Amino acid sequence: MSLSGKARLAGVAGWPVSHSRSPALHGHWLRRYRIDGAYVPLPVAPENFERALRALPLLGFRGCNVTVPHKEAALRLVDRASEEARRIGAVNTIVVEADGTLTGSNTDGYGFLENLTGAAPSWRADRGPAVMIGAGGAARAVLVALLDAGAPEVRVTNRSREKAEALADAFGDRVAVVDWSEREAALGQAALVVNTTSLGMTGQPPLELRLDDLPGDALVTDIVYAPLETALLAEARRRGNPVVDGLGMLLHQARPGFEAWFGVPPTVDGALRAAVLSA
Ligand code: ATR
């Protein structure tokens, strides 16, 4: 629909931001719910991020998403941040309050869990140990989500071991560090395997992980969604393991922001998946 002078405004700040699928995602919902609003890409260089953020209320924006490389800076700059965002150490969603102050939250872990429980309703975090590949920014959100959802143990394995150890130091004794060279042995008795690295993404090296020791009923998921079926998911599917692709995490993490800015709780469905995939 066309915009009126009262259109509600939001966007995604990143650098670069041209690859972001968020404008297509929110644009689909705006059309579907016939909302007088716009969600735009905001290409903001790191040296301008603070000023750009401070300008949001001045320009009448309801808020924005924040993506690479601004998520950690956003946590420092908002007026208040949710407890989850502080534990993750990053903000991906900002709401401009009525008084012009900025509230930050992090919905990546929420999106991760909503994707799993939506696509694999019988899976529960407390069912058994999880194996997490990677210890970068995305891993922190996944780890906090799994611990909060009751995972009895999260085995973290990362090429650079010290980053996995830093997560164990930060998040306590349910986090076990597994050496990168031992990652396949860590799959024994696991109830979940999640790849949080960029390995397996189009243009990146593959994730080398033989699944021989993985129980047949363990759920396997990947935060990579291009390609939708990574080599990890294809191998898991071939063995008969349940699999959930990573696109749903992107779709679900967007829901809280959309509702806060545009006033409608949006639904994730096949039409949205198709719209984002074709973007
Ligand atoms: P993001 O915010 O997307 O998680 P990141 O913080 O740069 O990005 O983290 C990238 C993750 O992918 C890290 O766990 C990284 O491992 P290192 O900590 O050892 O760098 C992992 N990764 C990237 N390329 C890799 C490779 N070729 N082999 C193994 N791990 C890799």
Residue 142 Cβ inside 6 Å of ligand 1? The answer reads: no
Residue nearest to atom 5 of ligand 1 (CA): 136
Q: To the nearest whole percent, how much of the chain has pLDDT over 70?
A: 100
Region of residue 189 (phi > 0: left; psi between -120 and 50: alpha; otherwise: beta): left
Residue 93 Cβ inside 6 Å of ligand 1? The answer reads: no
Question: Looking at the predicted structure, is the pLDDT value of residue 1 above 80?
Answer: no
Average pLDDT over residues 183-199: 98
> Amino acid identity of 254?
A
pTM, 2 dp: 0.96
Q: How far is the CA of 197 from the centre of ligand 1 (A)?
A: 5
Neighbours of 71 (CB within 10 A): 23
DSSP label at 101?
A: -
Question: Looking at the predicted structure, is the pLDDT value of residue 60 above 80?
Answer: yes
Of 276, 160, 173, 155, the C-alpha closest to 218 is: 155
6 is catalytic: no
Residue 160 Cβ inside 6 Å of ligand 1? The answer reads: yes
Where does the pLDDT of residue 140 fall: very low under 50, low under 70, confident under 90, or very high at 90 and above? very high
DSSP alpha helix (H) spans, the chain? 22-32, 49-58, 71-77, 83-88, 108-119, 137-148, 161-171, 231-239, 247-253, 255-262, 270-277
| Helical pair 255-262 and 22-32, crossing angle rounded to 10 deg | 50
Question: Looking at the predicted structure, is the pLDDT value of residue 194 above 80?
Answer: yes
Which residues have a Cβ under 8 Å from the Cβ of 99 and sit 6 or more positions away? none
Residue nearest to atom 22 of ligand 1 (CA): 197
pLDDT of 102 reads 98
Q: To the nearest whole percent, how much of the chain has pLDDT over 90?
A: 99
pLDDT in tens, 240-271: 999 999 999 999 999 999 999 999 999 999 99
What is the helix (H) or strand (E) element at residue 154, kind and residue range? strand 154-158
Which domains does the chain show, CATH number per domain?
Answer: 8-107+254-277 (3.40.50.10860), 109-245 (3.40.50.720)
